Structure 1
């Protein structure tokens, strides 16, 4: 059964972590509304490409423009079955918007499926929904997870973890595991 999914993204969210789940969820028949505060349907966000090239942290390059297909000011979290939070630098500033925090909190209070990847944990920490939960994230976000009262899941970069209604992963190499676990939470059946 098709679900209605909200994706909260912002400027310089990670390119793959925005585009890949958006397209994958659409491909299996779900409705996905990608929104950003202070932007409307048809506007774009700039994305960033994060790569792992042997340095102590990721490198960052300008990515694609990603077109939003819904208007943040018009959405109501209550109308959605699930939430996706891409990583990148977007979550760092999105957590400053009270309406974004309220939307994120709704999905946890209502125990609806949530998928967060990489720096998405910064938004979860800002929403104060990690207390007593296990969450994976980009390793540099371990402090945010722990300071928010959560347990950081130190898993390989290509793995994901599900705890209750939350599916989380360290970065985009985990997309196959992260998206598969999110689809399982959504109850999506894919025939081979």
Structure 2
């Protein structure tokens, strides 16, 4: 039997940890993670940015790694996937301008497939119109996006995650343990020690 497939939507200047860590952790659990970006193919790269919290009024940004994509964006068929991962960073800001990206998010939501969005990933949820009447955590600066999209912004600690229905959301990468655990649970995986 082949591995269950997850889709990860990336783009240039996606947040480094919010892309690399979920990709590696979910792959380690046996999922096939197809990391894609509009106008790019498997083997192409996206540049990442490292966002950190160092006492300033907002996060700082430093160059990250080049992250290799694992699948062609043009070949994505939502029905092939059991869940969707939306990292934060600056990528969601411009990815939300791509109608195919919006369609993909809407199709995952309509099918009630688990969607994990972290930090600025909520910008894609808002642009796709899937937050009406729903609760969503995000980086605090994205709170207005959540509210304008008809959602309720959940102001939770930076290391926590929020689950409502098929959505697993979190403020930023310090929430990875809680966020990924909640996502995997929604996917129906059981981890036993």
Question: 1:31 — aligned with what?
Answer: 32
What SS class does the counterpart of residue 159 from structure 2 fall into?
coil
Shift of 1:18: 0.1
Q: String of CA shifts for 1:144-176, please: whole Å, max 9, x gaps.
A: 000000000000000001000000000000000
TM-score normalized by the length of structure 2: 0.98
1:139 matched to 2:140: yes
1:115-154 → structure 2 map (5 Å cutoff): 115-154=116-155
CA RMSD of aligned residues (A): 0.9
Please give the alpha-carbon distance, in whole angstroms, between the structure 2 residues aligned to 1:25 and 1:119: 20
CA contact (8 A) 1:3 1:186 kept: no
1:3 matched to 2:1: no
Please give the alpha-carbon distance, in whole angstroms, between the structure 1 residues aligned to 2:180 and 2:14: 17
Question: 1:13 — aligned with what?
Answer: 14
Please give the alpha-carbon distance, in whole angstroms, between the structure 1 residues aligned to 2:25 and 2:19: 10
Q: Which runs of 4+ in 1 moved over 2 A?
A: none
Shift of 1:190: 1.0
Question: 1:56 — aligned with what?
Answer: 57
TM-score normalized by the length of structure 1: 0.98
Shift of 1:78: 1.8
Stretches of structure 2 that go unaligned for 5 or more consecutive residues are none
Please give the alpha-carbon distance, in whole angstroms, between the structure 2 residues aligned to 1:187 and 1:20: 20
Shift of 1:35: 0.1
Q: Kindly tell me the number of residue pairs found equivalent between the two proteins.
A: 192
1:67 matched to 2:68: yes
1:40-189 → structure 2 map (5 Å cutoff): 40-189=41-190
Stretches of structure 1 that go unaligned for 5 or more consecutive residues are none
Please give the alpha-carbon distance, in whole angstroms, between the structure 1 residues aligned to 2:100 and 2:5: 19
Shift of 1:110: 0.4
What SS class does the counterpart of residue 88 from structure 1 fall into?
coil
